[in-house]
């Protein structure tokens, strides 16, 4: 039968028999495999999706055959700006476009024969789904973790949208690459910062790949130091700074505050050059990404004329500067500058001719800042002691005793900017009442559904298009009943994906976001696979969200995922990222048409190291097709026979072990190659036993599910493969009776000998020395030593 027909046949079989539908009640051990759900773009499925889906599908299929109750679900992360951009361009409502895209995606996934439990399909854009996203937002609000604040935000002038720090990394818009500018806007925020420590500690409860843990740790960016108060001269006002180097306080020669620092306005009357400083603030806010990186080393700033800060230890008068190399959103927005021992301060001091006082021995501060450790100098009562071991504690204690400063921990992690001024997102369920202020939409009124928008364009004022829909905006205050206005901001596209794995456990529940029973049964996601690019965004948001739900007693575990892995990207055959403009995009549909779904699946698993990026190579795909054809042709050699071969038996057992282990350890490429080796050996035989053939098909089934089922049926080898048990190997049958041992002279290979397993060392030495080629190479040489390792090697050292 033709490949296409075989694939359709089995895909239908699986649907009709509910083969992959997971049960919430089962005596079997549960196993939850999650792959990141796609954003259903208009471009259709990417071969990159296929790489992770096919690989994890093989794992899921194998786990089922091993007797697990496997949950392997799929859904759609369908909110987001691209759908909205598409709508603006083509005047098609996103809901319509998204619906069509989902249909395309689903068809593509199904044509690959992926064993998703489609009865649990979800879409973040479904009101039945986002009702619970909104519900959870209200939970955050109740705990004070969702709050409105006017903050400087990353604004993309092209997308006309606020971006989270995570979306604006590098100072450019994640999506369009435009440089972001800072803008003060009133936004909904989620208090992720409060969870910084928990998110850090929680990593210990996971088995994430180290690189993922590290990325998260760096993003959270914990640092330990001290907050120190510098009195402003002739004033009650204090300038609070944060420093990780309190030991260098005797070396402070100036202070730097961020352009947005509130003390500027507080003391504006005393500042003689206030206009100049406000001008500088304006200048700094307009810097875009390009300028910022180019000016990275070239620091700018303005000296504040009119007041000084007093060093609380030395009582020296310290000049204050305004400079944008100090950020308002980290620490206290003010620093004590120690040019002798900090590169940035050094550069600034050099430029503005500020005094540089070394306080730690070592280095040459006339040439560069010395950031190393050493003995304290020029530091009063700290002189002569080691800075790192002693001074840092001595001074901190002194400051705490005298009320000058205190120990302090800071995080780089910021609260999550949770508003978007777009309409294709979950409406934030809040109402603004002139009398009552912000009032949450009552739970009973959820979901707040998206109205049918007809004008898609975002506005220059930065308001959502929803703001112009009066029947949506105008409402009654749930608290006082008076006229009020609905929030028109929507949630970011990361909202729906921050809890979707929970919904899969109980996708049709109308009364709860997920039932406690389902939560108890499925627990944590055992294995979560997704892109490395989500290591600091989606993955952190999801962990934060779940940790919060845990604190509310809504889920049984603080950490949602046990294992997290990520796959390497698939690049075009030219080694560049696949893109329409480069014309190197490979369409999975075309691959399926030409080579079949099984071949594509096997190829994407065989293509290379799973975690590394690889270049696409259609010729190699053809090679995998040939492999499957050969498996099929091997069927013609089938005989009911009792022929026994020790070698085949050993190879069979080895292969079972190899495939079993490799599928659990991301080694998909070697799992495939070991099956190729097995096939090569079986092909050499005149006849193949049905037992061996069925084992081959069972092992190959998770990777190439259609053709293997078909062959199993044609040759009447037994039960449907995916309903059969996974083959087991016999530990005792993994080693052959005889092995080949290498003989080296001075580490160079001079021959090999076939000997019985466990041949004694003395015997091996004898055989090795009797070898003709060895004799030849030993001519005229004295044997100094012979190293013999049983079952491994003989190395003769000779001179």
- Segment lying near RNA (by CB under 7 A), choices 214-222, 452-460, 544-552, 695-703: 214-222
Check residue 299 for interaction with RNA (CB under 7 A).
Answer: yes
Q: Which two tokens stand for residue 48?
A: 């990159």
Contacts of 485 (CB under 8 A, 6+ apart): 431, 432, 473, 474, 475
Check residue 714 for interaction with RNA (CB under 7 A).
Answer: no
**Are 754 and 740 contacting, i.e. CB atoms less than 8 angstroms apart?**
yes
**Are 141 and 190 contacting, i.e. CB atoms less than 8 angstroms apart?**
no
Question: Dihedral (C-alpha) 439, 445, 450, 453: value to the nearest 10 degrees?
Answer: -80
Nearer to RNA by C-beta: 593 or 719?
Answer: 593
> What φ, ψ does residue 412 adopt, rounded to 5°?
-75, -30
Check residue 215 for interaction with RNA (CB under 7 A).
Answer: yes
Site string for RNA, 667-686 (x = CB under 7 A): x-xx-xx--xx--x--x---
Measured CA to CA in angstroms, residue 259 lies from 300, 301, 378, 522 at distances of 11, 9, 31, 51
Check residue 795 for interaction with RNA (CB under 7 A).
Answer: yes
The counts of H helices and E strands in the chain are: 25, 31
Check residue 534 for interaction with RNA (CB under 7 A).
Answer: no
Nearest Cα to Cα of residue 588 among 574, 604, 612 = 604
For residues 543 and 566, what is the distance between their CA atoms, to the nearest angstrom? 17
Nearest Cα to Cα of residue 410 among 335, 505, 495 = 335
Strand partners, 408: 225
> What φ, ψ does residue 163 adopt, rounded to 5°?
-120, 145
- SS3 at position 159: coil
Check residue 752 for interaction with RNA (CB under 7 A).
Answer: yes
Check residue 797 for interaction with RNA (CB under 7 A).
Answer: yes
- SS3 at position 382: helix
Size of the site for RNA (CB under 7 A): 82
Contacts to RNA from residues 100-129, by CB under 7 A: none
Give min distance, CB of 128 to RNA, in A: 34
Contacts to RNA from residues 586-615, by CB under 7 A: 606-609, 612-615
Check residue 391 for interaction with RNA (CB under 7 A).
Answer: no
Nearest Cα to Cα of residue 764 among 783, 797, 740, 736 = 740
- Segment lying near RNA (by CB under 7 A), choices 110-118, 294-302, 392-400, 511-519: 294-302
Nearer to RNA by C-beta: 501 or 693?
Answer: 693
> What φ, ψ does residue 738 adopt, rounded to 5°?
-120, 150
Check residue 543 for interaction with RNA (CB under 7 A).
Answer: no
- Could you say which of 144, 403, 583, 747 contacts RNA (CB under 7 A)? 747
Measured CA to CA in angstroms, residue 93 lies from 84, 88, 251, 453 at distances of 8, 8, 62, 8
Measured CA to CA in angstroms, residue 298 lies from 260, 304, 325 at distances of 20, 19, 10
Give min distance, CB of 293 to RNA, in A: 6
- Segment lying near RNA (by CB under 7 A), choices 42-50, 141-149, 307-315, 331-339: 331-339
Strand partners, 577: 571
CA contacts within 13 A on the Cβ side of 782:
2
Check residue 533 for interaction with RNA (CB under 7 A).
Answer: yes
Give min distance, CB of 609 to RNA, in A: 4
- Could you say which of 295, 480, 756, 783 contacts RNA (CB under 7 A)? 295
- Could you say which of 102, 145, 199, 258 contacts RNA (CB under 7 A)? 258
Check residue 229 for interaction with RNA (CB under 7 A).
Answer: no
Give min distance, CB of 77 to RNA, in A: 20
Nearer to RNA by C-beta: 1 or 224?
Answer: 224
- Could you say which of 401, 716, 748, 799 contacts RNA (CB under 7 A)? 748
- Segment lying near RNA (by CB under 7 A), choices 325-333, 466-474, 486-494, 756-764: 325-333
- Could you say which of 107, 127, 170, 442 contacts RNA (CB under 7 A)? 170
Angle, helices 127-142 vs 538-551, to 10°: value is 60
Give min distance, CB of 334 to RNA, in A: 8
- Helix (H) or strand (E) holding 149, with range, is strand 146-156
- Segment lying near RNA (by CB under 7 A), choices 139-147, 381-389, 622-630, 690-698: 622-630
Check residue 339 for interaction with RNA (CB under 7 A).
Answer: no
- Could you say which of 410, 486, 543, 564 contacts RNA (CB under 7 A)? 410
Check residue 288 for interaction with RNA (CB under 7 A).
Answer: no
């Amino acid at each position: 039968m033709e490949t296409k027909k075989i694939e359709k046949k089995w895909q239908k079989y699986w649907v009709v028999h509910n083969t992959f539908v997971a049960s919430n009640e089962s005596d079997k051990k549960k196993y939850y495999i999650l792959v990141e759900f796609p954003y259903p773009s208009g471009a259709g499925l990417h071969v990159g999706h296929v790489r992770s889906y096919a690989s994890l599908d093989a794992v899921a299929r194998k786990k089922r055959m091993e007797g697990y109750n496997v949950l392997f679900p799929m859904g759609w992360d369908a909110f987001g700006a691209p759908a909205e951009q598409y709508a603006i361009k083509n005047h098609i409502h996103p809901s319509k476009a998204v619906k069509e895209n989902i249909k395309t995606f689903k068809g593509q996934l199904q044509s690959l024969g992926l064993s998703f439990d489609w009865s649990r399909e979800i879409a973040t854009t479904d009101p039945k789904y986002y009702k619970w996203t909104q519900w959870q937002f209200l939970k955050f609000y109740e705990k004070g973790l969702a709050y409105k604040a006017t903050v400087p935000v990353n604004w993309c002038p092209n997308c006309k949208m606020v971006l989270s720090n995570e979306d604006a990394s590098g100072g450019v818009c994640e999506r369009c690459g435009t440089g972001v500018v800072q803008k003060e806007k009133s936004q909904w925020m989620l208090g992720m910062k409060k969870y910084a420590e928990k998110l850090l500690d929680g990593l210990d409860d996971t088995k994430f790949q180290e690189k993922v843990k590290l990325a998260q740790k760096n993003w959270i960016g914990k640092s330990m130091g001290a907050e120190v108060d510098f009195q402003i001269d002739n004033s009650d006002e204090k300038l609070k700074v944060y420093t990780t180097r309190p030991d260098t306080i005797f070396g402070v020669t100036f202070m730097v505050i961020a352009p947005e620092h509130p003390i500027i306005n507080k003391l504006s009357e005393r500042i003689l050059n206030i206009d100049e400083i406000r001008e500088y603030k304006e200048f700094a806010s307009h810097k875009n990404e390009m300028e910022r990186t180019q000016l990275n080393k070239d620091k700018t700033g303005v000296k504040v004329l009119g007041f000084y800060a007093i060093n609380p230890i030395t009582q020296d008068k310290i000049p204050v500067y305004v400079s944008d190399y100090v950020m308002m959103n980290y620490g206290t927005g003010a620093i004590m500058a120690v040019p002798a021992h900090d590169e940035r301060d050094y550069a600034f001091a050099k430029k503005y001719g500020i005094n540089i006082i070394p306080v730690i021995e070592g280095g040459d501060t006339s040439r560069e800042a010395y950031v190393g450790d050493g003995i304290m100098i020029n530091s009063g009562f700290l002189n002569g002691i080691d800075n790192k071991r002693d001074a840092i504690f001595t001074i901190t204690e002194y400051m705490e005793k005298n009320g000058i400063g205190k120990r302090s921990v800071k995080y780089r992690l910021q609260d999550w900017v949770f508003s978007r001024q777009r309409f294709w997102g979950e409406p934030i369920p809040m109402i603004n009442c002139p009398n009552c202020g912000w009032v949450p939409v009552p739970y009973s009124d959820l979901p707040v559904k998206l109205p049918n928008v007809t004008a898609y364009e975002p506005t220059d004022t930065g308001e959502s298009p929803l703001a112009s829909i009066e029947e949506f905006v105008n409402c009654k205050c749930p608290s006082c009943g008076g006229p009020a206005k609905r929030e028109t901001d929507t949630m970011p596209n990361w909202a729906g994906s921050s809890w979707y794995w929970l919904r899969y456990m109980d996708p049709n529940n109308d009364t709860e976001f997920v039932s406690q029973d389902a939560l108890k049964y499925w627990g944590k996601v055992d294995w979560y696979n997704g892109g490395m690019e989500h290591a600091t965004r989606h993955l952190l948001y999801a962990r934060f969200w779940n940790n919060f739900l845990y604190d509310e007693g809504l889920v049984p575990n603080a950490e949602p995922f046990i294992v997290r892995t990520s796959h390497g990207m698939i690049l075009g055959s030219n080694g560049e990222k696949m893109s329409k403009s480069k014309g190197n995009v490979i369409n999975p549909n075309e691959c399926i048409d030409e080579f079949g779904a099984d071949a594509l699946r096997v190829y994407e698993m065989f293509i290379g190291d799973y975690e590394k990026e690889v270049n696409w190579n259609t010729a190699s795909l053809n090679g995998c097709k040939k492999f499957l054809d050969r498996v099929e042709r091997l069927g013609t050699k089938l005989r009911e026979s009792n022929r026994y071969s020790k070698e085949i038996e050993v190879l069979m057992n080895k292969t079972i072990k190899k495939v079993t282990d490799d599928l659990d350890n991301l080694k998909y490429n070697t799992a495939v190659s070991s099956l190729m080796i097995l096939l090569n050996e079986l092909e050499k035989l005149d006849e193949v036993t049905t037992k061996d053939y069925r084992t081959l098909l069972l092992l190959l089934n998770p990777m190439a599910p259609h053709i293997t089922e078909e062959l199993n049926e044609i040759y009447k080898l037994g039960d449907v493969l995916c309903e059969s048990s996974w083959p087991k190997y016999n530990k005792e049958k993994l080693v052959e009776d005889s092995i080949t041992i290498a003989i080296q002279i001075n580490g160079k290979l001079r021959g090999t000998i076939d000997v019985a397993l466990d041949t004694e060392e003395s015997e091996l030495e004898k055989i090795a020395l009797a070898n003709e080629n060895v004799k030849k190479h030993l001519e005229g040489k004295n044997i100094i030593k012979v190293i013999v390792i049983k079952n491994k090697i003989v190395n003769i050292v000779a001179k």
